[in-house]
Amino acid sequence: MKKTQRTLSTYHILALLVLSHPLYFYWHSAFSNPHPAHVLTGIDVLEAENFARLDGKHVGLITNRTGANRNGKSTIDLFLAAPNLKVVAFFSPEHGLFSDVEHKVASFVDSRSGLPIFSLYGETQRPTPEMLQGIDTLIFDIQDVGVRFYTYITTMAYAMEQAAKANIEFMVLDRPNPINGVDVEGPILDSNRLSFTGYFPLPVRHGMTVGELARLFNEENRLGVKLGVVRMEGWKREYWFDNTGLPWINPSPNIRNLDEATLYPAVGLLESTNLSVGRGTQTPFEVFGAPWIDASRLVRSLDKREIPGVKFKPFRFTPEADRYKGKRCQGAKITVMNRHRFRPVTCGLEIARVLCLLYPQRFQSEKLLELVGSDEVVKRIREGRSLQKILEGYQPQLQTFLALRQNYLDY
């Protein structure tokens, strides 16, 4: 193919220098959206109504640090101060009430209120009948990240199942999908691979809010729970989290900003293999690697793929925790250049393809199945099929999901 020669003007050269400078990304993040929207989450709406929907109710609240109004006041404090409802118990998901731990969590008693805080990521992943004693309404207020294998939506679904069995109401205080509610991407979870990291046959990136997912789970799995969703006000599907005007609160210890949430469907997709995904570093999910990788060789191969919206650079790091703790790793650092062009799941699948090609004896590609969730997709990756063939293979299932999803969109 004959190459066309292009001449850059002085203006274009200066523009490229500015856009490639590291400080540009900090400036762009801070000032590209100077007038964010005024989004009210479910708890903001409930508070504005003086908790009228919960008048006289005895409630259990499933929440963590992300359960807060737009001024940063916790839903726990708001509920405890509300005069027209009674809080019976609190429940915490993976990472605990303060969203800061990476291990199993024990239940405990809150010293301030004297109320129990039951862990749903310890001895049990579901509220037991004993935990639900005295509760007539179970409420969910947690910020999700918009990815199938992030466990908060499974915690919500398990709690809905238990609420249905106990004949108590379930209410979701809706929150934004932080990586927008438009883009849907990735293979559908095989129906025989349902687990705590995959409650329902969703694509990796589902483009739905927790309230919408609750309605889908309730109807499609015929849970039969009496479900209420307190909808947001002012949220639009195309919004990313930084368009909402809401304060960022880390949903878990290793997703510390919107860039990491944006990259999570790409790099998190690889976490079940023998790669470090940056846990134990200052930039989790922005880097990945292993002791057996040659960073320069890897990035050269990734650059040839011309993956839209991101830039790779060779990176060396030593994790202080998790996989390869204390061992020198080589790999890549990913910078999101244009999040509107970036397709993280496609990027993750392409990274997996490259690792299979470069390190067929070292990369544990068979373990991709745990989070990719599709036996056929993993098989095609391991066979060395083209990215186009891999993407084409799951389009029929994805189109079927999109049609189903349409029935449950509230915004």
**What is the tens place of the pLDDT at every residue in 182-208?**
999 999 999 999 999 999 999 999 999
Q: CB of 317 within 8 A of CB of 289? A: yes
Q: Looking at per-residue confidence, does 398 or 11 come out higher?
A: 398
* Residue 163: domain span: 42-243
> Is there a domain that residue 21 lies in?
no
Average pLDDT over residues 24-39: 56
* DSSP tag of 270: G
The answer on pLDDT for 31 being more than 90 is no
- Domain boundary (212, 243, 274) is at 243
Count Cβ atoms within 10 A of the Cβ of residue 244 and give its class: 0-12 exposed, 13-18 middle, 19 or more buried.
buried
Residue 34: band (very low, low, confident or very high) from pLDDT cuts 50, 70, 90: low
The answer on pLDDT for 176 being more than 60 is yes
> Is there a domain that residue 270 lies in?
yes
3-class secondary-structure state, position 240: coil
> Is there a domain that residue 399 lies in?
no
Compute the distance between CA of residue 62 and CA of residue 173 in angstroms, rounded to an integer: 10
Task: Identify whether residues 52 and 135 lie together within a single domain.
Answer: yes
**What is the tens place of the pLDDT at every residue in 319-377?**
999 999 999 999 999 999 999 999 999 999 999 999 999 999 999 999 999 999 999 99
The answer on pLDDT for 110 being more than 60 is yes
Amino acid 60 reads G
> Is there a domain that residue 378 lies in?
no
The answer on pLDDT for 6 being more than 50 is no
Structure tokens at 157: 């679904």
Got the DSSP string for 134-195? Answer: T-SEEEEE----SBTT-THHHHHHHHHHHHHHHT-EEEEE----TT-SS--EEEEPPGGG-B
Task: Identify whether residues 135 and 232 lie together within a single domain.
Answer: yes
**What is the tens place of the pLDDT at every residue in 136-165?**
999 999 999 999 999 999 999 999 999 999
The answer on pLDDT for 7 being more than 90 is no
Task: Identify whether residues 70 and 203 lie together within a single domain.
Answer: yes
Residue 410: band (very low, low, confident or very high) from pLDDT cuts 50, 70, 90: very high
Q: CB of 262 within 8 A of CB of 73? A: no
The answer on pLDDT for 127 being more than 70 is yes
Compute the distance between CA of residue 140 and CA of residue 63 in angstroms, rounded to an integer: 6
Taking only Cα atoms into account, the Rg of the chain, rounded to an integer number of angstroms, comes to 22
The answer on pLDDT for 2 being more than 80 is no
Q: What is the pTM of this model?
A: 0.90
Average pLDDT over residues 213-221: 98
* Average pLDDT of every residue of the chain: 92
> Is there a domain that residue 234 lies in?
yes
Q: How distant is the alpha carbon of residue 237 from its chain centre?
A: 16
Average pLDDT over residues 242-267: 97
**What is the tens place of the pLDDT at every residue in 270-328?**
999 999 999 999 999 999 999 999 999 999 999 999 999 999 999 999 999 999 999 99
Number of neighbours of residue 132 by Cβ within 10 angstroms: 21
Domain count, the chain: 2
Looking from the CA of 87 toward its CB, the CA atoms found within 13 Å total 23
pLDDT attached to residue 19: 36
Task: Identify whether residues 220 and 158 lie together within a single domain.
Answer: yes
The answer on pLDDT for 30 being more than 50 is no
